[in-house]
Amino acid sequence: MSAGSEWQFDLPEELIAQDPPERRGDSRLMLVEPDVGPVGEHVFRELPSILQPGDLLVLNDSRVLPARLMTRRVDTGGQVEVLLIRPVNPGTWLAMAKPARRLRPGIRLAIGPDGQFLEILEKRDDGQVLVNSNPDPWKLAADHGAMPLPPYIRRDDDDPLGLERGERDRVRYQTVYNLSDSTGAGSVAAPTAGLHFSDKTMSALADQGVKIARVSLHVGPGTFKPPTEEQIAAGRLHREFFRFSAETHHLVTETRAKGRRVIAVGTTSLRVLETIFRLGLETADQDHLEFAPTASDPDPFFTGSAQRNNDGHWKVTGMTRLFIQPPDRVSAADGLLTNFHLPGSSLLMLVACLAGEKTWRSAYTVAVEKKMLFYSYGDCMLLLPGFGQ
């Protein structure tokens, strides 16, 4: 069972964006005051003039892996679609496969023209599988994979126009500031608030005196699933791997010390910032900390490690399960730049923690009335105090 009716809203199907705008930055940007409501609208490329010198934008620079692999069973010739999720060991990945019912350890899934294949190592009760290959699965994905677009973006692989759109997706379903990952890891969904930024907008932000910090959170397939009642009750969501650098910690603390604003670009960046805040590292009396399940907390919101450098700033790496939902309050950021999200999603619940119940509803109502576009390739909102002053 998933989230209740309080997180639902009516959305005409024609407002679900199927393609990105012609140019990055052409999308519409709604300005929203927390606990007030929508207070204006701009074109996204005008963002630098809306922000103030000294503001800090925190970006998620994770790269989307073309993780959707169309394979065929070596034994039967049947087609199997594989979605790589994350590495668990060198050469071994957790993946989703469909159809998965008849898969079993030892089955090989051929891909490409050169006799390469994935091998099923383990099949799990939840339908996920462990696969390995030589070369590494991420290399097969880089060579043969397709972008793992969300289910609400429709592509017909048998249609020439669909193939053309698929090639465009390989560019436009990435941010301009993403970084490749030397481990081959990456996201299976784009941090979509970042898709609006162009190189020109990034330069304009620098000219305005807006600073940039980066985190890396590899978005998992759980981002599209509505949270279950069990997840809501436990306050734990799907696991996602992230890295948080000492440089970013320095920029965040410096911005706060100067009384400037920290603005998360996307819910993924905010999830990292809030995870770090709730670890309470500022009061730690050791320079190296390990976070793991314990008898008293067998399912912690974070597992991983933190290392303090000589300047007192922390580098943190690990897996977050933090579920930010009302009545939680967000303490790690002053504002949020975000797209319009799926009904019933954990992302919508996070937005509500910043906006307030009436505000998120009024913003979404206005977005529908003004025919703004929703979801990954859609328009966005900047949720930030002070617009009404």
The reported pLDDT for the residue numbered 166 is 80
Phi, psi of 106 (to 5 degrees): 100, -20
SS3 374: strand
Query: Of 235, 233, 245, 238, nearest to 223 (Cα)?
Result: 238
The reported pLDDT for the residue numbered 113 is 86
The reported pLDDT for the residue numbered 1 is 46
The overall average pLDDT reported for the chain is 93
Q: For the purposes of burial, counting CB atoms within 10 Å of the CB of 110, is it exposed (0-12), middle (13-18) or buried (19 or more)? A: middle
Tell me the pLDDT band of 275, cut-offs 50, 70 and 90.
Answer: very high
The vertex-243 CA angle with 237 and 248, nearest 5°, equals 120
Q: In what helix (H) or strand (E) does residue 20 lie, and over which residues does it extend?
A: none
pLDDT surpassing 80 at residue 267: yes
* pTM of the entire predicted model: 0.94
The reported pLDDT for the residue numbered 309 is 97
- Ramachandran region of residue 87, left (φ > 0), alpha (ψ -120 to 50) or beta? beta
pLDDT surpassing 60 at residue 389: no
Are 276 and 242 in contact, with CB atoms under 8 Å apart?
A: no
Average pLDDT over residues 355-378: 96
DSSP state of 62: B
Please write down the long-range contacts of 325-331, taking CB distance under 8 Å and 24 or more positions apart. 325/227, 325/232, 325/235, 325/349, 325/350, 325/352, 325/353, 326/352, 326/353, 326/357, 328/353, 329/353, 330/270, 330/274, 330/354, 331/274, 331/277
Domains, the chain, in order of start with CATH, read 5-64+176-383 (3.40.1780.10), 68-144 (2.40.10.240)
Phi, psi of 62 (to 5 degrees): -65, 140
> Is the CA virtual torsion 70, 75, 76, 77 positive or negative?
positive
- pLDDT tens digits for 198-243? 999 999 999 999 999 999 999 998 888 899 999 999 999 999 999 9
Tell me the pLDDT band of 388, cut-offs 50, 70 and 90.
Answer: low
The reported pLDDT for the residue numbered 179 is 85
Q: How far is CA 357 from the centre of its chain?
A: 23
Tell me the pLDDT band of 362, cut-offs 50, 70 and 90.
Answer: very high
**Cα separation of 361 and 50, whole Å?**
23
**Cα separation of 166 and 20, whole Å?**
12
Query: Of 344, 346, 337, nearest to 10 (Cα)?
Result: 344
pLDDT surpassing 80 at residue 89: yes
Average pLDDT over residues 112-120: 91
The reported pLDDT for the residue numbered 123 is 94
- pLDDT tens digits for 126-180? 779 999 998 899 899 989 999 999 989 988 766 655 567 888 899 999 999 998 7
**Cα separation of 387 and 389, whole Å?**
6
